[in-house]
Each structure stands twice: as C-alpha cells, then as structure tokens.
Structure 1
Amino acid sequence: MATFLRRKATAVTLGVLALTLAGGGIAAAQPTTKASTEVAQPGARSSGATQPPVSAADAKRARAALDAVGAQATAAGTVAWAVASSGGSLLRGSPEAVSVTRYGPGQYQVLFNYDVSRKAFQATIGTTDQYNIPPAGEISVAPRLSTINGVFVQTRDSAGTPADRPFHLLVAN
C-alpha cells in the first residue's frame, strides 16, 4: 500500500509540475498591451513615420516623367540608381532617374521614368563626394504612395530622429 501511495504522489507531483509549466507558457504567450506595429517596428511610433501626401504638383511631375518615355517596361535585370544630396538634389544617376524632392527633415521622393511599384529597392546612407565617410544614421525605403514611378526614402540619425542624410538608391527590375 505504501508503494502505491508513493507512486501516486510522484504522479501527482509530475502532473502539477507539467500543468504549472504549461500554464506559465500560456501566460508568457499572452499579447502585450502595445500594438503589434509598435512591438515589431519601434520607429513607427515616432513622428514623421508616414509619407507626406502627394500634392497635385507632385502627381503632375510624376505623370510627366512617365509620359517622357511612354511608360515603357524595362528589361529584367536592369538596375536603375540615383545619388541624392542631403538637400534633395539628384547629383547623378542612371538615365531612368528623373528627380529627387525633399519634403522635410529626412523625407525624400525619388522619381524614375518607369513603373517601379513592383521592383526591389536598396538604399544606403552615402557620401556625395570622393574619399569621405558618410554620416552615421539609418535609412528606409518604400514605394511612394499613389505614385507608381516614385520611391519614398526616409533618413534618420543614429538616435532615430528624422535627419537629412545623403543617400544612394538602387531599383532592381
């Protein structure tokens, strides 16, 4: 009888331990009080995380850039590129790069003469002259809202505050 009770006590102890661990795992999996975008993208909480609206003048410039070449499709494997100054000037680029517009601290639009809405973007904070080290900071890119031939670029300093930085942008087709 003592052996039976000892085995029963061991089974109960293991059962309680298993339920405790399972309950702890469930409690750890509960959602936090923060919104999911705030947890995944802390920068989304700060000011300037949204794109500025597309003005009528911006839309007209974008249409004019597309009309200049008839919105031709580019060949697969083509890479378009642009180098922009921190002030929002297009310094150099491939023939497809049309213009750069600065909207505010660290906010830029780069226009191309073809549809880039389904292309891959790569950007880096760069330097605009030879033999210099680029300023420290962060950069992000996204398709420009309501502009199929535009790319939106956001630059920040190392603390995450919007700041003007020169950059290099690649668009892979």
Structure 2
Amino acid sequence: MLRGWLTIAAGLLAALTSWAARAQSPAEAQVLAGLNAARAQGVTCPASGRRPVAAALTASAAHALAARNQAAHMSSRAGVTHVGAGGTTPRVRAASVGVRAVSVTEIIYMGTNPQGALSWWLASPLHCAILTDPRYTHAGAAVVQGARGTAYVVVLSSEPQ
C-alpha cells in the first residue's frame, strides 16, 4: 500500500515539476514579447549601428528553466553575475536542462522592475548586439523578485544544433 502511494506521489511530483518548468509569468512573457518586438522592427545599437530585422525568438521551457535557476541564484546573492551556482556557465546550465545548442548566450539585469531590462539592454552595445543577433532563435526569460522589490531578469537564448 505504501509503495503504491509513493508511486503516485512521485508521479504527481514529476508532473508538477514539468508544469512549473513550462509555466511563464506575465512579466516573463512581457520580457520575451519586448525582445521580439525589438527584433521585428530592427534597432540601432550603440557603437554597432543599425541591426537588421531578426525572426522572433521561440519560447522554450528548457531555456526558461535555466534562466529561472540563474535569476534565483542572483537573487540569493543579491547581485548580478553570469557565474551560476557551483561556478556554472550559461552553456553548462543550458545543457543541464536539455538545451542542445551550437551557441548559448545570457543577458541579465537587476533593477526595480523587469520593464527596465529591455531599455537597459538596448542602451548597452554588447547586450543590444546579442539580443538582436539572428543566430539566436530559442529563448527563455525569467523574472525573480528579490528582497526590497528588486527584480532579477535573465534571458537565456541559443542557436540550436
């Protein structure tokens, strides 16, 4: 009898974990929508000039999970960093959740709200070039609210294999 209940509990836990990995908050959806709007119209990046129109990023639950893990890590440390728990890199974090990619990139932000992330990234030469790069076609966004209302925003994107 106990074995049966444990099997059911394990199945429910797996289903909930899978659902949580796919669930996207309105703020996370807004971040991806903002990136896709910028990509659709083309933008002028500081230093590199006009960037061509790029296809919309395809939302990916695996990418979002890797992004969410990093946003939570940054929130726990109260700072921004591309170095993850245990010293992991964006590429290692992506692979750990099943992302198979030629190239992986991660853009991060910490501010009072997630809406400021896109403006900040577009004003940064490096971040603007990354978010408009047409090679990156799949992405996941994460927004974690930290202490004192700080928003930690991470977008992990990749060029699939």
Do both share a fold (TM > 0.5)?
no
> Going by fraction, where is strand more abundant, 1 or 2?
1
Q: Which has more radius of gyration?
A: 1
- Identify the structure with bigger relative contact order (alpha carbons < 8 Å, sequence gap 6+): 2
Higher helix share: 2
TM-score, with length taken from structure 1: 0.30
| TM-score using structure 2 length | 0.32
